[in-house]
Amino acid sequence: MIEDSPFVAAAPVLVPMPAERPYTYAVPPGMRVVPGSIVRVPLGPRQVAGIVWDGTVETVDAKKLRSIEQVFDCPPIDRAMRRFVDWIAQYTLSAPGMVARMLLRAPEAFDPEPWIEGLQRTLAEPDRLTDARRRVLETAEGGLAWTRSGLAHAAGVSSTVIGGLRAQGVFETVMIPPRPVVAAPDPGHAVPELMPDQKAAAEKLRAAIAADAFNVTLLDGVTGSGKTEVYFEAVAAALDKGGQVLILLPEIALTHAFLERFQDRFGAKPAEWHSDLPPRMRERVWRQVAEGGVRVVAGARSALFLPFEDLGLIVVDEEHDPAYKQEDRVFYNARDMAVVRGHIGGFPVVLASATPSVESRVNASQGRYDRVVLSSRFAEAALPDLKSIDMRRSPPARGGFLSPVLVEQMRRTLERKEQSLLFLNRRGYAPLTLCRVCGHRFGCPVCSAWLVEHRFRGQLVCHHCGHNERRPEACPECGTLDHLVACGPGVERIAEEVVGHFPDARTIVLSSDLLGGVRRLRLELEAVANGEADIVIGTQLVAKGHNFPGMTLVGVVDADLGLANGDPRAAERTFQLLSQVTGRAGRTGKKSLGLLQTYQPDHPVMRAIVSGDSEAFYEREIAERERAALPPFGRLAGIIVSAATRGEAESHARALRRSAPTASDLFVLGPAEAPLSLLGGRHRFRLLIQGERRADMQGFIRAMLAEGPKLRGSVRVQVDIDPQSFL
DNA sequence: AGCACGCCGACT
DNA sequence: GTCGGCGTGCTC
């Protein structure tokens, strides 16, 4: 730990940069630090916050040694959290300093929250009692301290009135401790009446909490089965035991609706934690989590790095959601890191989903996780009647993309004054533009993916790197005017087709391109929920989180989209997405319908969705993955995400094969996950591995580094899950 | 990751 | 003559 040299005491300090090990700093005489202390240290030309780490210090050149400037008045990062940082650094092959950086993302929170100035009633009486003064005294009755502006506001007077009373000694200045960011949740606030299978599931979770040990439960409940209510019982049990609780949600799902639901159950909102929390709030939440004042946090993946004082449960909702993957700097999957955090902290973890990831299903079937299934649905929340439309038999009209079968159902839905949702997971107007004369295709000059036409904006946009240009009139290759043709549909194009069919219907397109940002989007979603649109055309953004009570028809424009992209998870992802989308309808109690436009009605994904038999899908998918040795079965799959040149990508692919001969598949992909054949231009080399066996993977990385020392620093690793060595 | 230093093109 | 592009190198 802290070692005394003959001259100065020194401490290892993890600084927030890609350092492989802690740096050594001198501890000035009289300063007290312990492992976990958050300290201010000089680093190059600037001052940074670092964490005093475990272990002995390395002797460094006396000329290099600098001193810790300050120990923050802040609870030290506990041992479990420090081990968590080291574990993640090792597992993701990232520098520990970069992992530590994720803990230090609330710089102002390291100093205690200041007490604020307040006013308290004294025994003195004012010289004259005016109307305004009387209101102030009535408001302040009860002896509690008020802020000056708060009291003025509550009494409906100007703050000069308060100032006058203060001057007369009717009020005295007192210091008020910082206000809690949220009220304390009450586990007994509104205990729900649970259905029998919910009750049984809640009992199992409660037992896991009572056991006071690490354990993972996969809570697998079909849409509408009341998963949230069940895991709220686990939350209540953990709170009863006195621990703190973290509920992880995919960023998108961190909605108002969830917070309300929590408040209904516990009488208070959880503290929120996500990337667009205002800085002041961020600091207060961080501090109060560290001090234990906040009991429950609902947050995005970064909430995993909050310094909980006494964490007793993590719930990962929608555990299959890809938003849990962080894919820059430190590559990690928050769902898996939550499991690791539980293991280190010795507490239970609950993974909840209506469509669990294949990894979690495998972990459950192999006994590493417990599995609790909720199979019955509330009667009024029945799923829609689901059917596929075989596009070979009911093709769309020329130039269109909607089958007559779907159009007819939309017409009927309109007649009944109910809402339809068309889902197409593709922004813009058309995913590819080409010249009818010379065949020129518009590609991205930066990353060589195709440019997507956004007709509304008059632009061609690269959805991978954000590059955009004006849509020209003439072909840049042959110069012919007005012969550019849009290939394939995006939501804008579907909207055009819909308006052609139903010119009088209120049609709206919802995608992340919507002008006006998140606020506008929220307003539009609300408007739709209030019935202010007849037909909604949306990307996956409509698939998540939001309920539309009047929606009785869901049409999936291209259910096959995403099945053929070479991703080993394509079928799983499509199944999950289609389950979610079709779940958007049918919560009304009215009869509702889901239609999937597909060219492969016999594909296992379509059969599973239409029949509702997800068990069969999982069994088949797991068997298939095992046979092909794809994730999550103990083989390694490497993905080169981008390379400096095509030749370099190829040579690294060969190196990859040599060093990982057992790898089942080597995916050589472009920066845009485009096939290698699309790679062109110069790109920084980056490597992304979705692998299972850590030993294989690390060996491979070492081989890569030996192969090309210049690559060091630009190699990044993603590990999805490693069931063999995980726990 | 920041941030400084350092060496070549278009402008107050 | 300077401002500014990002390549390279370092941080106890």
pLDDT digits (tens, 9 = 90+) for A292-309: 999 999 999 999 999 999
Domains A196-374 and A385-429+489-624 share a fold: yes
* pLDDT of A663 above 80: no
Query: Using 50, 70 and 90 to split pLDDT, how confident is the model at A2?
Result: very low
Nucleotide nearest to A713 in CA–C1' terms:
B1
pLDDT the model gives residue A328 = 72
Distance CA A12, CA A2 (A): 8
Distance CA A371, CA A361 (A): 8
Average confidence (pLDDT) over A170-180:
90
What is the tens place of the pLDDT at every residue in A433-471?
A: 988 988 888 887 655 568 888 988 888 887 766 677 888
Tokens for A489, please give them: 């549909």
What would the DSSP string read from start to end of A321-339?
A: -GGGEE-SSS-EEHHHHHH
Distance CA A449, CA A644 (A): 16
In chain A, the percentage of residues whose pLDDT exceeds 90 is: 51
Tokens for A134, please give them: 């009387």
Positive or negative, the Cα torsion across A198, A199, A201, A202? positive
Are A274 and A299 in contact by the 8 Å Cβ rule? The answer is yes
- Give which of A657, A654, A653, A683 is closest to A670, Cα–Cα: A683
In chain A, the percentage of residues whose pLDDT exceeds 70 is: 83
Q: From the CA of A651 to the C1' of C9: give the distance in Å.
A: 28
* Fold adopted by A9-104: GIY-YIG endonuclease (3.40.1440)
What is the tens place of the pLDDT at every residue in A668-696?
A: 433 333 333 333 333 334 444 544 455 55
* pLDDT of A613 above 60: yes
Distance CA A345, CA A523 (A): 41
Residue A433 CA to chain centroid, in angstroms?
33
SS3 A104: coil
Nucleotide nearest to A24 in CA–C1' terms:
C12
Distance CA A547, CA A544 (A): 9
Average confidence (pLDDT) over A391-419:
96
SS3 A27: strand
Distance CA A294, CA A246 (A): 10
- What is the CATH class of A634-721? alpha beta
**Residues paired with A638 in a beta bridge:** A666, A689
- Alpha-carbon distances, residue A229 vs A86, A449, A547, A712 (angstroms): 35, 44, 17, 48
**Residues paired with A285 in a beta bridge:** none
Distance CA A52, CA A26 (A): 11
* Fold adopted by A385-429+489-624: Rossmann fold (3.40.50)
Distance CA A261, CA A238 (A): 18
Residue A426 CA to chain centroid, in angstroms?
20
**Side chain identity at residue A436, one-letter code:** R
Q: Which residue has the tokens 């946009």?
A: A461
pLDDT the model gives residue A180 = 93
- Give which of A694, A715, A719 is closest to A634, Cα–Cα: A694
What is the tens place of the pLDDT at every residue in A465-524?
A: 667 788 888 888 888 888 888 899 999 999 999 999 999 999 999 988 887 777 788 888
pLDDT the model gives residue A66 = 95
Q: From the CA of A88 to the C1' of B4: give the distance in Å.
A: 31
Nucleotide nearest to A48 in CA–C1' terms:
B2
Higher pLDDT, A498 or A726: A498
Query: Using 50, 70 and 90 to split pLDDT, how confident is the model at A18?
Result: confident
Average confidence (pLDDT) over A545-554:
83
pLDDT the model gives residue A700 = 58
Residue A204 CA to chain centroid, in angstroms?
27
Higher pLDDT, A171 or A381: A171
Q: Print burial letters for A543-572: b (CB count within 10 Å at least 16), e (below 16).
A: bbbbebebbbbbbbbbbbbbbeeebbbebb
Distance CA A287, CA A282 (A): 9
Chain C bases under 7 Å from protein CB?
10-12
Q: From the CA of A705 to the C1' of C9: give the distance in Å.
A: 20
| A465 has binding-site annotation | yes
Q: From the CA of A682 to the C1' of C3: give the distance in Å.
A: 28
* pLDDT of A421 above 90: yes
Quote the radius of gyration of chain A (alpha carbons, Å). Answer: 29
Nucleotide nearest to A17 in CA–C1' terms:
B1
SS3 A345: helix
Start-end of H helices in A329-483: 334-345, 358-365, 404-415
Among A70-84, A401-415, A540-554, which is the least confidently predicted range? A540-554
* pLDDT of A325 above 50: yes
Query: Which residue minimizes Cα–C1' distance to B1?
Result: A17
pLDDT the model gives residue A669 = 39
Ramachandran region, residue A212 (left: φ > 0; alpha: ψ -120 to 50; beta: rest): left
Among A156-170, A394-408, A521-535, A709-723, which is the least confidently predicted range? A709-723
Distance CA A535, CA A508 (A): 6
Higher pLDDT, A689 or A203: A203
pLDDT the model gives residue A715 = 46
Positive or negative, the Cα torsion across A317, A318, A319, A323? negative
pLDDT the model gives residue A384 = 84
Q: Which residue has the tokens 């205690």?
A: A112
Q: Residues contacting strand B at CB < 7 A?
A: A 16-18, 44-46, 98, 329
Q: Residues contacting strand C at CB < 7 A?
A: A 17-18, 23-26, 41-44, 58, 60, 64-66
Give the pairing of strands A23-27 and A419-423. unpaired
Whether a cis peptide bond, with omega within 30° of 0, leads into A632 is yes
Query: How high does pLDDT run on average in chain A?
Result: 84
Q: From the CA of A468 to the C1' of C3: give the distance in Å.
A: 28
Among A98-107, A248-257, A270-279, A632-641, which is the least confidently predicted range? A632-641
Tokens for A149, please give them: 């502006």
* pLDDT of A637 above 80: no
SS3 A601: coil
Q: How many CB atoms lie within 10 A of CB A581?
A: 24
CATH number of A196-374: 3.40.50.300
Query: Which residue minimizes Cα–C1' distance to B4?
Result: A45
- Strand ranges, E, within A365-411: 370-374, 385-390
pLDDT the model gives residue A458 = 85
Query: Using 50, 70 and 90 to split pLDDT, how confident is the model at A725?
Result: very low
Nucleotide nearest to A95 in CA–C1' terms:
B1
Query: Using 50, 70 and 90 to split pLDDT, how confident is the model at A181?
Result: very high
What would the DSSP string read from start to end of A245-310?
A: EEEE--GGG--HHHHHHHHHHHSSPPEEE-TTS-HHHHHHHHHHHHHT---EEEE-GGGGGS--SS
Domain residue extents for chain A: 9-104, 116-176, 196-374, 385-429+489-624, 432-487, 634-721
For residue A72, the number of C-alpha atoms closer than 13 Å in the C-beta half-sphere is 25
Higher pLDDT, A224 or A701: A224
- Give which of A260, A546, A606 is closest to A419, Cα–Cα: A546
DSSP label of A192: -
* pLDDT of A258 above 70: yes
Average confidence (pLDDT) over A625-645:
61
Burial (CB < 10 A; 0-12, 13-18, 19+), residue A97, is: buried
Higher pLDDT, A437 or A547: A437
- Return the H-helix or E-strand segment holding A598: strand A593-598
Query: Could you tell me the maximum CA-CA distance found in chain A, to the nearest angstrom?
Result: 93
pLDDT the model gives residue A653 = 58
* pLDDT of A712 above 70: no
- Give which of A102, A24, A17, A15 is closest to A56, Cα–Cα: A24
Average confidence (pLDDT) over A556-571:
84
Q: From the CA of A712 to the C1' of C8: give the distance in Å.
A: 14
